[in-house]
């Protein structure tokens, strides 16, 4: 902590919104956070923040904050003491475990929480309860990134750093609206373009980076694979492959070359809608550049073949040798602040920390020895499987921490029914939300500004989080709550505080061997971190983290998406984020950002608006095979004809009622980005176009 004469205390911490991981100075006065400014030495933000990190802190003192536990009695929630609430949690888990076995209980860790929180929760689930039923929200965002990177290059993380943005001659940005969803990284990309870097955006919707870029490829939703394989075709056809790199560092070239042979620019145009000349141009801009980085977001991952498309992005870097050196990074734009870390430390049903299989005997024995309990070798349930099991009556209890699946997960009506079918639901959060409506116990938690630990940003950088204020009322940190529950379950956690947790992570995880809070300091550490504290800003300079050390080119064909337009549902809905709000808006809707953006709209192209009789500002009904919602229309040519766009920040709209069950074939990540819908005007009096949900 440092002293600033204008404030009682100033604390350096890390932003709790997105995966850029900006370092912040949180200024406290009278016990409250009153202002936040950027840390000038933050490695990712270099003295900048966006309007979320800088201004969206008033939620900490919102009157809606949960400040005491609640328990359900005779159908309603009432205030309870911590002892009563925790005893209820422990006794219900013990009862259900005794009656139905440990796999009748499941937990969801929060990607907003710290690495230490996630580690503690997965330990409680595995060691105290005895199940691998633990997952987190990466399941519905970047699990395909993790899968694809591990297949192609070996490790589940960015291959370099955000600093590679400034060293790249070309930035290929696919399915990512970086200036809205990752604003500080997006601003660095924009600056790079203004300094001469060529940006290629690939997205059904133009964004700010398209405006400063060299080329925008407005492809049809669900056709990423055709486009990426089409680029590969041109790279090979036109001699833009780094032959020596491929010969010495990569395997699988022949199979890939055979596969993409038919995907000429004309065929690619037919499949994607991107003009053949632009396919050729994109391949040449990327292939001819000395350095180039590839960034991608949920527009790649949240599709039926998202994990395969991540492998296709890796193909481009491997073919051209644009990996393992400055300016040549694979940059997944991870969504929530700690979605990278919560997965790295093993809050997943099939892997311990750093993605080591729960079925691997040697790894499991390490954990058994340290924790003093036998551990199962069969994987647990993924989040969508938990929902199905709850609906089927096989899953009896859930413990959901800092994750509003009622608003954010697909097919919201199904999620709601699953939660209602549970015998026992514990929700641990900072506010009530759509998920907590079904809770039997509600535990008040501390926000990121009220706790200590670490987050890992999108560039694998482990950074310190430090409490800048006390939690409100009797709210406790997640780590405290996990410790209290675990003790009641007969498995006391041996941690005196968060740093002890990190030391245990390091003891059981070679890639975290040298991580200490002192070494993390103000600059962070990018894993793998050797025992002497040496970190790894750049991966794959010499070899890939795969058996044999070679990168793997993936020969994967284009296949159509899970949903497609029809006469009944003629438009394709793509969902995404807005600059002013974050995810389900729980925090940002309780700040001044609500004045900047108070409701959501459906963006629709002028041609489609005219064809469907929709005026700008009119209330419309959006109907999919799954459900329907109503909201105001915004007629704009930012979006390609045939598509519509909205976000999911507002519970009164509940966009995710529209999303069906289609999901990535390898990871079960839902296909949020390709949903066939019909849009029709709704007759209402003027000024009523705000939006609400209609459950089908």
Q: Is residue 634 a contact partner of residue 524, using CB atoms and an 8 Å limit? A: no
Among 21, 69, 213, 297, interactor with ligand SF4 by CB under 6 A:
21
Closest distance to ligand SF4 from the beta carbon of 45 (Å)? 6
Closest distance to ligand SF4 from the beta carbon of 183 (Å)? 5
Which stretches does DSSP call E strand in 45-133?
Answer: 70-73, 76-79, 105-109
Measure the CA–CA gap between 371 and 486, rounded to whole angstroms: 12
- Classify burial at 524, counting beta carbons within 10 Å of its beta carbon; exposed 0-12, middle 13-18, buried 19 or more: buried
- Judging by DSSP bridges, how do beta strands 134-136 and 105-109 pair with one another? parallel
Measure the CA–CA gap between 12 and 2, rounded to whole angstroms: 8
- Per-residue x/- marks for ligand SF4, 44-83, CB under 6 A? -x---xx-xx------------------------------
From the list 187, 202, 183, the residue with the least C-alpha distance to 286 is: 202
Helix (H, G, I), strand (E, B) or coil at 632: strand
Helix (H, G, I), strand (E, B) or coil at 123: helix
Among 184, 256, 442, 465, interactor with ligand SF4 by CB under 6 A:
184
Closest distance to ligand SF4 from the beta carbon of 46 (Å)? 11
- Per-residue x/- marks for ligand SF4, 228-247, CB under 6 A? --------------------
Closest distance to ligand SF4 from the beta carbon of 576 (Å)? 15
Nearer to ligand SF4, 20 or 390 (CB): 20
Helix (H, G, I), strand (E, B) or coil at 205: strand
- Torsion over CA: 245, 250, 254, 259 (sign): negative
| Adjacent-strand bridge partners of 442 | 70, 427
Nearer to ligand SF4, 44 or 256 (CB): 44
From the list 194, 190, 214, 216, the residue with the least C-alpha distance to 203 is: 216
Closest distance to ligand SF4 from the beta carbon of 49 (Å)? 4
Which window, 42-50, 404-412, 459-467, 644-652, contacts ligand SF4 (CB under 6 A)?
42-50
Contacts with 237 (C-beta within 8 Å, 6 or more apart), sequence order: none
Q: Which helix (H) or strand (E) holds 366?
A: helix 361-371
- Per-residue x/- marks for ligand SF4, 200-219, CB under 6 A? --------------------
Among 7, 17, 245, 645, interactor with ligand SF4 by CB under 6 A:
17
Helix (H, G, I), strand (E, B) or coil at 590: helix
Nearer to ligand SF4, 51 or 545 (CB): 51
Closest distance to ligand SF4 from the beta carbon of 187 (Å)? 8
Establish how many alpha carbons lie within 13 A of residue 31's alpha carbon, considering only the half-sphere containing its beta carbon: 5
Angle at 168 between CA 162 and CA 174, to 5 degrees: 75
* 18 lines the binding site for ligand SF4 (CB under 6 A): yes
Closest distance to ligand SF4 from the beta carbon of 55 (Å)? 10
* 553 lines the binding site for ligand SF4 (CB under 6 A): no
* 39 lines the binding site for ligand SF4 (CB under 6 A): no
CA dihedral 500, 503, 509, 512 (to 10 degrees): 120
Tell me the Ramachandran region of residue 657: left when phi exceeds 0, alpha when psi lies from -120 to 50, beta otherwise: alpha
Which window, 182-190, 462-470, 493-501, 538-546, contacts ligand SF4 (CB under 6 A)?
182-190
Nearer to ligand SF4, 339 or 415 (CB): 339
Which window, 19-27, 78-86, 212-220, 630-638, contacts ligand SF4 (CB under 6 A)?
19-27
Which window, 13-21, 141-149, 300-308, 387-395, contacts ligand SF4 (CB under 6 A)?
13-21
Which window, 20-28, 109-117, 420-428, 633-641, contacts ligand SF4 (CB under 6 A)?
20-28
* 646 lines the binding site for ligand SF4 (CB under 6 A): no
The two structure tokens encoding residue 499: 């740093």
* 332 lines the binding site for ligand SF4 (CB under 6 A): no
Closest distance to ligand SF4 from the beta carbon of 527 (Å)? 19
Closest distance to ligand SF4 from the beta carbon of 395 (Å)? 34
Closest distance to ligand SF4 from the beta carbon of 184 (Å)? 4
Closest distance to ligand SF4 from the beta carbon of 48 (Å)? 8
DSSP assignments along 435-504, one per residue: TGGG-SEEEEB--GGG--EEEE-TTSEEEEE---SPPSTT-B-HHHHHHHHHHHTT-----SSHHHHHHH
- Per-residue x/- marks for ligand SF4, 133-172, CB under 6 A? ----------------------------------------
Contacts with 372 (C-beta within 8 Å, 6 or more apart), sequence order: none
* 183 lines the binding site for ligand SF4 (CB under 6 A): yes
Residue nearest to ligand SF4 (CB): 53
Closest distance to ligand SF4 from the beta carbon of 400 (Å)? 23
Measure the CA–CA gap between 427 and 192, rounded to whole angstroms: 43
Nearer to ligand SF4, 49 or 435 (CB): 49
Measure the CA–CA gap between 668 and 661, rounded to whole angstroms: 9
Closest distance to ligand SF4 from the beta carbon of 583 (Å)? 11
Nearer to ligand SF4, 45 or 667 (CB): 45
* 22 lines the binding site for ligand SF4 (CB under 6 A): yes
Measure the CA–CA gap between 460 and 539, rounded to whole angstroms: 11
Neighbour tally for 514: CB within 10 Å: 18
Angle at 288 between CA 285 and CA 291, to 5 degrees: 90
Closest distance to ligand SF4 from the beta carbon of 3 (Å)? 24
DSSP assignments along 193-257, one per residue: HHTT-EEEEESSB--HHHHHSSEEE-PPTT-HHHHHHHHHHHHHHTT-S-HHHHHHHEE-HHHHH
Among 13, 20, 97, 627, interactor with ligand SF4 by CB under 6 A:
20
Which residues contact ligand SF4 by CB under 6 A? Answer: 15, 17-18, 20-22, 45, 49-50, 52-53, 182-184
């Amino acid at each position: 902590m440092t002293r600033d004469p204008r404030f009682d205390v100033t604390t350096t911490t890390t932003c709790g919104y997105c995966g850029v991981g900006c370092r912040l100075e949180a200024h406290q006065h009278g016990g409250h956070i009153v202002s936040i400014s950027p840390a000038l030495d933050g490695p990712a933000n270099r003295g900048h923040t966006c309007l979320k990190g800088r201004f969206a802190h008033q939620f900490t003192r919102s009157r809606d904050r949960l400040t005491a536990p609640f328990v359900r009695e005779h159908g309603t929630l009432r205030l309870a003491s911590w002892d009563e609430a925790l005893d209820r949690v422990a006794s219900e888990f013990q009862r259900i475990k005794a009656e139905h076995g440990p796999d009748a209980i499941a937990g969801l860790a929060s990607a907003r929480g710290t690495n230490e929180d996630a580690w503690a929760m997965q330990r409680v689930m595995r060691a105290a309860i005895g199940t691998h039923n633990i997952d987190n929200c990466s399941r519905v965002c970047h699990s395909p990134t993790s899968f694809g990177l591990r297949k192609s290059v070996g490790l589940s993380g960015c291959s370099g750093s955000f600093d590679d943005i400034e060293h790249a001659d070309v930035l290929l940005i696919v399915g990512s609206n970086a200036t809205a969803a990752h604003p500080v990284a997006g601003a660095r990309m924009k600056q790079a373009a203004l300094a001469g870097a060529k940006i290629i955006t690939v997205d059904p919707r133009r964004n700010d980076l398209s405006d400063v870029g060299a080329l925008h490829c407005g492809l049809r939703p669900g056709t990423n694979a055709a486009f990426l394989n089409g680029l590969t075709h041109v790279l090979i056809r036109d001699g833009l492959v780094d032959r020596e790199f491929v010969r010495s560092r990569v395997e699988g070239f022949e199979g890939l070359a055979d596969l993409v042979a038919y995907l000429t620019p004309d065929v690619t145009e037919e499949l994607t809608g991107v003009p053949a000349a632009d396919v050729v141009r994109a391949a040449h801009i990327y292939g001819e550049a000395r350095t180039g980085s590839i960034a991608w977001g949920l527009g790649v991952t949240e599709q039926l073949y998202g994990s395969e498309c991540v492998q296709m992005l890796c193909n481009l870097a491997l073919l051209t040798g644009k990996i393992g050196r400055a300016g040549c990074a694979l940059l997944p734009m991870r969504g929530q602040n700690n979605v990278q870390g919560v997965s790295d430390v093993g809050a997943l049903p099939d892997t311990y920390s750093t993605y080591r299989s729960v079925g691997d005997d040697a790894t499991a024995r390490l954990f058994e020895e340290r924790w003093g309990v036998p551990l199962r070798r069969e994987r647990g349930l993924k989040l969508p499987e938990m929902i199905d099991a709850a609906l089927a009556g096989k899953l009896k209890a859930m413990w959901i921490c800092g994750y509003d699946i009622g608003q954010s997960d697909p097919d919201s009506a199904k999620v709601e029914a699953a939660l209602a079918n549970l015998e026992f639901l514990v929700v641990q959060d900072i506010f009530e939300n759509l998920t907590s409506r079904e809770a039997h116990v509600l535990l008040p938690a501390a926000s990121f500004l009220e706790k200590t630990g670490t987050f890992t940003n999108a560039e694998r950088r482990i950074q310190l989080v430090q409490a800048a204020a006390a939690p409100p009322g009797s709210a406790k940190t997640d780590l405290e709550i996990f410790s209290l529950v675990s003790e009641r379950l007969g498995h006391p956690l041996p941690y005196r505080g968060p740093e002890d947790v990190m030391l245990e992570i390091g003891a059981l995880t070679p890639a975290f061997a040298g991580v200490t809070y002192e070494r993390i300091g103000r600059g962070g550490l990018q894993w793998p971190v050797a025992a002497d504290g040496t970190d790894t800003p750049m991966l794959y300079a010499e070899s890939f983290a795969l058996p044999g050390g070679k990168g793997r080119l993936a020969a994967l064909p284009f296949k159509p998406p899970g949903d497609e337009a029809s006469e009944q549902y003629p438009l394709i809905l793509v969902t995404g984020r807005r600059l002013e709000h974050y995810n389900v808006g729980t925090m940002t809707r309780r700040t001044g950002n609500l004045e900047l953006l108070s409701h959501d709209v459906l963006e629709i192209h002028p041609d489609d608006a005219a064809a469907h009789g929709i005026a700008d500002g009119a209330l419309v009904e959006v109907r999919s095979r799954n459900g329907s919602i109503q909201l105001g229309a915004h007629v704009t040519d930012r979006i390609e004809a045939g598509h519509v766009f909205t976000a999911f920040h507002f519970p009164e709209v509940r966009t995710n009622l529209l999303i069906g069950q289609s999901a990535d074939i390898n990871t079960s990540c839902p296909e949020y980005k390709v949903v066939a819908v019909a849009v029709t005007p709704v007759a209402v009096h003027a000024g009523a176009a705000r939006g609400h949900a209609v459950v089908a």
